[in-house]
């Protein structure tokens, strides 16, 4: 049997179909706190569950959506749950999800403002709000991208364009072959995604100068000054706001003048910790970040937008546009002062990401965002204080923001300690009261706790702490 778009015409199946999808989504989110905070089925089971020959004939959409939800559910991770501490992942705020559902229903391709005036205008307003909340200069340009990786790609593309333009080279037209060499300085504990961005841009992930960092992964300002002084010519420096294990923020106030004195460009990967600027309790940690030339940050982390949402912000709108604009004769040209969303991002056809951003900022307000960031940081300190006071547990970072790394088996030697830490992680993942993962840090296995799930409360944090302590008791008992 054939199924056509007419089957879902308004008033017929459409309403039932979309209501059912909403119901399924509501059911999932309503039960999120009580379900195990890890997936029930693994990747291989999911592959088996979904494996099927290519459908020859269509099927009723209602049935397809039922099947999708039923098949997927066991393999879904409670990433929006209140005791999810694995990786730096936001919780898709309900207001953002609702706006996102509308965004999908509206089906706007927001490449330019002629095609979709509402989407283009909302992006502009949301961009101004973002700059205000993050306390960045109001005349910065903002591109709404898929996440911080692409935001860094965009920021570094603008950087590449500008430092080469200053050296008399048009990289957009001529590419990198024969161009003056660009020096790239980056902290030794930068996020891998920034190295990906450098790779995409022909700057190479290995031909960088790695600058020494301290025990929290923060760039050593003196080492950075020496690195800047050690060369000349076009310069791009990359700082980080929020090391993914420790939350450390690089000393941008000291770095920026050194870079700018050489005519260079300073980019900040602030995927989550740029948001420390939006909260009075944490703002002091992030002072000076406003001195950079460009910033990458995420919507889908601390702001809690649904995926995919990030922001590429630069102080140099012309360089930003030059690096990104696709000029094509069949596209209407933007009038002076008019902003086309596609001018600040790599894509042309694209999702109207501004709607969800707008809805969340309106729902939380400046006060709600500040409250959330402050609460997460307090919960991180609270968990670290209890865990760190327990014998055998060592907190390895200065818990100034929302990140905690810890190891188990203090005094038992590196190998035995690493084994114990891995066993505690396995135990809590099996138990399911919370989800936390492991990482290697300074040559050792650590447990990472990222406190960034929107609705997390003190009770959730305490329940998670108790579950970690219980797991440690069990592992310690087994290894006595």
Ligand X SMILES: *Cc1c(COP(=O)(O)O)cnc(C)c1O
Where along the sequence are the contacts to ligand X (CB under 6 A)?
88, 147-149, 191, 193, 242, 244, 269, 271-272, 298, 310
Q: Which tokens belong to 245?
A: 């294990």
Nearer to ligand X, 453 or 465 (CB): 453
Smallest distance, ligand X to C-beta of residue 176, A: 24
Smallest distance, ligand X to C-beta of residue 87, A: 8
Closest CA to 114 of 436, 272, 339: 339
Nearer to ligand X, 108 or 193 (CB): 193
CA distance linking residue 406 with residue 421, whole number of Å: 8
Q: At what angle do helices 94-106 and 354-388 cross, to 10 degrees?
A: 150
Closest CA to 256 of 185, 189, 310, 197: 185
Closest CA to 447 of 361, 365, 387: 387
* Opening angle at CA 403, ends 364 and 94, nearest 5: 30
Nearer to ligand X, 123 or 269 (CB): 269
Smallest distance, ligand X to C-beta of residue 244, A: 5
Say if CB 143 and CB 326 are below 8 A apart. no
Smallest distance, ligand X to C-beta of residue 317, A: 23
Q: Tell me whether strands 294-298 and 265-269 are parallel, antiparallel or unpaired.
A: parallel
Smallest distance, ligand X to C-beta of residue 107, A: 24
Say if CB 467 and CB 433 are below 8 A apart. yes
Smallest distance, ligand X to C-beta of residue 273, A: 7
Q: At what angle do helices 317-324 and 148-166 cross, to 10 degrees?
A: 100
Nearer to ligand X, 103 or 149 (CB): 149
Smallest distance, ligand X to C-beta of residue 147, A: 3
Instruction: Extract long-range pairs of 7-11: CB within 8 Å, 24+ residues apart.
Output: 7/60, 7/61, 8/61
CA distance linking residue 396 with residue 414, whole number of Å: 14
Phi, psi (5° rounding) for residue 134? Answer: -85, 0
Phi, psi (5° rounding) for residue 339? Answer: -115, 125
CA distance linking residue 478 with residue 472, whole number of Å: 10
Write out the E strands in 275-374: 294-298, 310-314
Q: What is the greatest pairwise CA distance in the chain?
A: 74
Smallest distance, ligand X to C-beta of residue 195, A: 10
CA distance linking residue 208 with residue 198, whole number of Å: 9
Nearer to ligand X, 298 or 460 (CB): 298
Say if CB 90 and CB 271 are below 8 A apart. no
Nearer to ligand X, 148 or 393 (CB): 148
Phi-psi region of 307 (alpha: psi -120 to 50; beta: other; left: phi over 0): beta
Q: Tell me whether strands 183-187 and 403-408 are parallel, antiparallel or unpaired.
A: unpaired
**C-beta neighbour count of 196 within 10 angstroms:** 15
Smallest distance, ligand X to C-beta of residue 372, A: 17
At 25, is the secondary structure helix, strand, or coil? helix
Nearer to ligand X, 244 or 373 (CB): 244
Phi, psi (5° rounding) for residue 123? Answer: -60, -40
Smallest distance, ligand X to C-beta of residue 332, A: 31
Please give the residue whose beta carbon sits closest to ligand X in the complex: 147
Smallest distance, ligand X to C-beta of residue 298, A: 5
Q: Which residues have C-beta within 8 Å of that of residue 189, sequence separation ≥ 6?
A: 213, 217, 218, 240, 243, 245, 248
Smallest distance, ligand X to C-beta of residue 173, A: 29
CA distance linking residue 185 with residue 376, whole number of Å: 31
């Amino acid at each position: 049997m054939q199924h056509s778009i007419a089957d879902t015409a308004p008033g017929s199946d459409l309403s039932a179909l979309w209501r059912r999808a909403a119901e399924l989504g509501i059911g999932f989110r309503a039960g999120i706190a009580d379900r195990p905070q890890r997936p029930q089925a693994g990747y291989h089971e999911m592959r088996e569950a979904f494996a099927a020959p290519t459908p020859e004939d269509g099927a009723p959409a209602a049935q397809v959506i039922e099947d999708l939800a039923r098949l997927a559910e066991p393999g879904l991770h409670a990433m929006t749950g209140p005791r999810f501490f694995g990786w730096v992942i936001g919780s898709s705020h309900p207001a953002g999800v609702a706006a996102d559902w509308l965004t999908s229903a509206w089906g706007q391709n927001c490449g330019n403002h002629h095609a979709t005036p509402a989407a283009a205008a909302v992006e502009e307003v949301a961009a101004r709000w973002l700059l205000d909340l993050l306390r960045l200069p109001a005349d910065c340009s903002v591109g709404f991208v898929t996440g911080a990786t692409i935001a860094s790609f965009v920021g570094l593309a603008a950087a590449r364009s500008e430092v080469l333009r200053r050296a008399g080279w048009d990289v957009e037209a001529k590419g990198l072959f024969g161009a003056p060499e660009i020096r790239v300085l980056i902290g030794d504990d930068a996020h891998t995604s920034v190295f990906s961005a450098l790779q995409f841009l022909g700057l190479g992930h290995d031909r960088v100068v790695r600058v020494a960092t301290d025990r929290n992964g923060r760039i050593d300002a003196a080492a950075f000054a020496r690195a800047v002084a050690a060369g000349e010519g076009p310069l791009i420096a990359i700082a980080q706001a929020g090391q993914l294990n420790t939350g450390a923020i690089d000393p941008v106030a000291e770095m920026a003048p050194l870079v700018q004195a050489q005519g260079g460009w300073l980019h900040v990967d602030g995927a989550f910790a740029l948001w420390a600027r939006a909260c009075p309790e944490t703002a002091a940690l992030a002072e000076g970040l406003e001195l950079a030339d460009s910033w990458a940050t995420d919507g889908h982390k601390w702001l809690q937008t649904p995926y995919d949402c990030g922001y590429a912000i630069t102080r140099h709108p012309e360089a930003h546009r030059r690096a990104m604009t696709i000029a094509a004769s069949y596209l209407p040209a933007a009038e002076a002062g008019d902003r086309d969303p596609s001018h600040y991002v790599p894509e042309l056809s694209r999702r109207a990401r501004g709607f969800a951003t707008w809805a969340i900022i309106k729902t939380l307000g400046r006060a709600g965002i500040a409250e959330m960031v402050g609460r997460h940081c307090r919960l991180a300190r609270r968990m670290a204080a209890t865990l760190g006071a327990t014998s055998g547990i060592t907190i390895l970072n200065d818990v100034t923001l929302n990140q905690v790394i810890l190891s188990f088996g203090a005094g038992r030697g590196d190998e035995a300690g690493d084994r114990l830490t891995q066993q505690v992680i396995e135990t809590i993942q099996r138990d399911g009261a919370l989800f936390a993962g492991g990482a290697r840090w300074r040559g050792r296995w650590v447990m990472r706790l990222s406190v960034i799930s929107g609705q997390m409360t003190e009770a959730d944090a305490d329940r998670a702490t108790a579950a970690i302590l219980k797991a440690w008791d069990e592992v310690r008992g087994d290894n006595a």
